[in-house]
Structure 1
Amino acid sequence: MPPGSEGENAPLMSATDRIGALPDHMLHHLLSFLPAQAAVRTCVLARRWRHLWKYTTGLRIVGLGDEGPVHVHDLQKFVDHLLILRERTDLNTVEIKLDNFLEEDQPYVNLWTRFAMNCKVRALTLHIRDNQYLYIDNLPLVSRHLRTLDLHGVALQKSFLDFASCPELEDMRMDTCLISVNKISSRSLKHLSITGCRSDLDCRIHVSTPGLVSLELDASDGLTPFLENMALLETAFVYLDDDCEDVCLNYVSGVFCGANNDTCKNCVPIGTNCSSNCVLLGGISSAKHLKLISETGKFIFSRDLKHCPTFTKLKTLLLNDYWCEAPDMDPLSCILKNSPVLEKLTLELFPKGQTPKVQMKGSYCCMQRPSAISEHLKIVEVKCDVVNKRIAKVLKFLCAFSAFDIRFSFE
């Protein structure tokens, strides 16, 4: 039984000391929510608290002190002593969040990360916030216990993102990371979020996660990742912003020159190393709920539609004005024709990040609907700032294509 445990020299607590009256295992858990420096300082509260910090179920190494950000060099001595003195109990969570980070600090943080893995950590968070990347050791993660991995400002190399030795990993988030690998692979992963990341490779990153349930790809810099089949996918959000390098140099009014046009060096085939003609849509074609957003001039979605898969399970679909840019609105028409069980369509025809001023909802105006659309489609929503000629053209297309009568309702 660890020092300070129930029944061993535990002092009588006053009626008002409700926290001190809690059993040790609960205090171990509560101390896990404090930064490590604050958790250790509780040892001066009373005799019973002298060793409680050694048994916390979580460890938070935070580079923020009472007077502002703390350099890793100033944290090093404290953390080294902490890791030596704490008991070798398992850790549920480890958070390492640093504001002032230098290149010479990397060995320390890598060491602290490996310590967490040795303590069978279940949820690991690494956040670097000083416009400096933490370069993780190019060694594979090996853990039968790791379930959640949350990375921010981390440079990821090949071996680290091969999760063959992490059979329980289910949730991974990568934000503002540098990805220097050509493949992200995990059979156990269920939730994957890649936001604001950058790749320094001249090839597409392959994402092989057959068990994925939810996916978020948001505003990454570089070539669009190639998604392998995700048969269990429930929801997916994909946003291709201006930093996406897949851009047609000959783009005009929603029309892309195409993969066989020699005048555009960017509109080229995906490559012989891809097992599908689609970059994105093939991998997410099993999803039930999709949000597909793209900035003007990006051709990946339009290119994928030339080999458009059938979205056999798709119930709800949200698209932005990119899908309505082409003169004949072929992209919108194509994806609707290939969504046989679609129930709800939402078009957001306003700038990203703004709030629409007008919302229109559709209802049937005839008994007979075109055979080209889903017989399950019940709701069509159009959100915009103002009803101009462009919006009127979209409404006319929807009425003709889906037999919907669009009626106005203002917010």
Structure 2
Amino acid sequence: MSQGSEAARSKRKTADGSPDRLSVLPEGLLLDLLSFLPSRDAVRTCVLARRWRNLWKEVPALRITPATTSRYWSASALNKFVNYLLFFRNRSPLHVAELNSYEDEGGDFDEAVQYLELWIRYSLSCPVAKLCVTSHDEAERWLLPKGLITSEHLTELELTWVKTVQDLDFSSCVSLKDLKMNYCSIYCNRIMSPSLKRLNIVQCSFTANVNTQISVPNLILLLLVDCMGRTPLLVSMPYLVEAFIRLGDCNDFCEQRYEIGDCGDESCWGCRFYENKYGNNNCILLHGLSSCTNLELTAATSPFIFRKDLTRCPVFSKLKTLLLNEWCITSNLGALICFLQHSPVLEKLIIQFEPPEIHERLVEIGASYDLRKHPLVLKDLIVEVKCDDGDEQIHKVLDVLCSYGLPPEKIKIQQPPKVTRARFDDTWTSGSFSFEQEI
């Protein structure tokens, strides 16, 4: 029999009411399959057969995806669909709720986010395990209501283009393990969660008037990338294993280009902020990172906060792998030597150099690092230098390291990796660091 005849007979059987291959599957499996579809498509399966008529009401996923929002001609039309969906849906538990407001550049923003809070409250009441919220407003005007995210069942939370001015206290979310914040305005004093294990903060804006405190004592994985505003203050994280910190266009820079931000110029907002608010006895980042096993500390520009922290540097008693870039290269390499002296079990050091023409000259007046009294011995350290050919800084760094006993055969010079932002974001979820990726 031809394939066309078999297909025709299959259609006739289905039209006659005989069970098709999908219909004979258990209801639980059908619901799992439907949970991968956007909610709009899941609802449309109600016309397939009698058995499918009400299945969409039990689907354990609520997916208002960007693809869904683009199918509607206005925010009002999308809101009407979602509101009816929630009204007629059975209030069964949700594995995931993906909530996107209507995306209309230059349109009615108030209409687009009018029901976003209602949708969040509905999802949390079901309850939901994973909640993803995107306001689709690059101006980040949608203000997260205080105390909105409260749930004993929530394990994963992702916020995109959201603004908050109230402290983010997730103490009531006792099961929360993963928090991701992308392109958010974080204008609050504290982020708190006693249960959080993984924290990703990518391209967010912090307030310029205070170092937002991040208190997550059980964290094991931290990603802080390309954020603006004042660098957040990391409270002790004794279980932290891996961290990637890449400072972007932050406010922690010295207008006079002093190495550790102590120029004393009253007009220099970067230095004056720390002198007046914290004095000289606080560690903004390094104290919270001191339990790491694998650590990347890089900066796109030359903020002084890493070097300032090194003046009261903690001991990195568990650190095995360390990646740094040019921020640690000063005229006498004091910052780099200080870090190595405070990393007694370090096995591998990676230093990445940008092209020589963009190196920034550092003024070293007043730089005084917490150099340890006992000698630094590097005979067991493996060093990788990633740089372009012809960089004079390389020879300076290697000469100093070799003077501390580093064998030349343990030095490896490579071309810098061409890791794009998108590639890094994709690979980070695997737990791998950027220097471990194959290009």
TM-score using structure 2 length: 0.79
TM-aligned CA distance change 1:304 to 1:409, over 3 Å:
closer
1:404 Cα deviation from its structure 2 partner: 2.4
TM-aligned CA distance change 1:290 to 1:270, over 3 Å:
farther
Q: 1:249 aligns with which of 238, 255, 268?
A: 255
Q: Does 1:119 align with 2:149?
A: no
Distance of 2:70 and 2:233 partners within structure 1: 45
1:388 Cα deviation from its structure 2 partner: 2.6
Q: 1:152 aligns with which of 146, 153, 160?
A: 160
Distance of 2:71 and 2:279 partners within structure 1: 49
1:274 Cα deviation from its structure 2 partner: 9.2
Q: 1:75 aligns with which of 66, 78, 89?
A: 78
Q: Does 1:337 align with 2:341?
A: yes
TM-aligned CA distance change 1:66 to 1:194, over 3 Å:
closer
On the 8 A contact 1:240/1:295 being kept in 2, the answer is yes
Match of 1:212? Answer: 219
Give 1:12-411 correspondences, 5 Å limit. Answer: 12-14=18-20, 17=21, 19-65=22-68, 71-98=74-101, 100=103, 102-133=109-140, 134-158=142-166, 161-241=168-248, 243-251=249-257, 255-258=259-262, 262=266, 264-268=268-272, 269=274, 277-324=282-329, 326-350=330-354, 371-373=375-377, 377-405=380-408
Distance of 2:110 and 2:405 partners within structure 1: 58
Aligned residue-pair number: 374
Distance of 1:221 and 1:285 partners within structure 2: 23
Q: How large is the Cα RMSD of the aligned pairs?
A: 2.4
On the 8 A contact 2:242/2:293 being kept in 1, the answer is yes
Distance of 1:314 and 1:24 partners within structure 2: 50
Amino acid in structure 2 at the alignment position of 1:79: V
Distance of 1:201 and 1:396 partners within structure 2: 40
Quote the sequence identity (%). 38
Over residues 282-323 of structure 1, what are the superposed CA-to-partner deviations in whole Å (9 max), with x where a residue is unaligned?
111111110000134310001000000000110100011221
1:83 Cα deviation from its structure 2 partner: 0.6
Q: What is the DSSP-based 3-state SS (H/G/I as helix, E as strand, rest coil) of the residue aligned with 1:135? A: coil
TM-aligned CA distance change 1:66 to 1:91, over 3 Å:
closer
Amino acid in structure 2 at the alignment position of 1:405: P
TM-aligned CA distance change 1:201 to 1:211, over 3 Å:
same
Mean Cα displacement is larger for which, 168-177 or 198-207?
198-207
TM-score using structure 1 length: 0.85
| 5+ residue gaps, structure 1 | 1-10, 352-369
TM-aligned CA distance change 1:84 to 1:67, over 3 Å:
closer
1:402 Cα deviation from its structure 2 partner: 4.0
TM-aligned CA distance change 1:140 to 1:110, over 3 Å:
closer
Richer in strand (by share): 1
Mean Cα displacement is larger for which, 304-313 or 150-159?
150-159
Q: What is the DSSP-based 3-state SS (H/G/I as helix, E as strand, rest coil) of the residue aligned with 2:218? A: coil
On the 8 A contact 1:314/1:342 being kept in 2, the answer is yes
TM-aligned CA distance change 1:34 to 1:48, over 3 Å:
same
1:204 Cα deviation from its structure 2 partner: 1.0
Distance of 1:181 and 1:66 partners within structure 2: 30
Distance of 2:51 and 2:378 partners within structure 1: 67
1:276 Cα deviation from its structure 2 partner: 6.1
Distance of 1:152 and 1:116 partners within structure 2: 17
1:261 Cα deviation from its structure 2 partner: 5.7
TM-aligned CA distance change 1:297 to 1:321, over 3 Å:
closer
Distance of 1:166 and 1:108 partners within structure 2: 23
TM-aligned CA distance change 1:90 to 1:405, over 3 Å:
same
| 5+ residue gaps, structure 2 | 1-16, 356-373, 416-439
Q: What is the DSSP-based 3-state SS (H/G/I as helix, E as strand, rest coil) of the residue aligned with 2:308? A: helix
Richer in helix (by share): 2
Distance of 1:35 and 1:180 partners within structure 2: 33
TM-aligned CA distance change 1:274 to 1:75, over 3 Å:
farther
On the 8 A contact 2:156/2:178 being kept in 1, the answer is yes
On the 8 A contact 2:350/2:383 being kept in 1, the answer is yes
Over residues 148-184 of structure 1, what are the superposed CA-to-partner deviations in whole Å (9 max), with x where a residue is unaligned?
001111112315x111111111100001001121100
Distance of 1:140 and 1:277 partners within structure 2: 33
Over residues 359-401 of structure 1, what are the superposed CA-to-partner deviations in whole Å (9 max), with x where a residue is unaligned?
xxxxxxxxxxx941467x4421111111332222122122223
1:408 Cα deviation from its structure 2 partner: 5.7
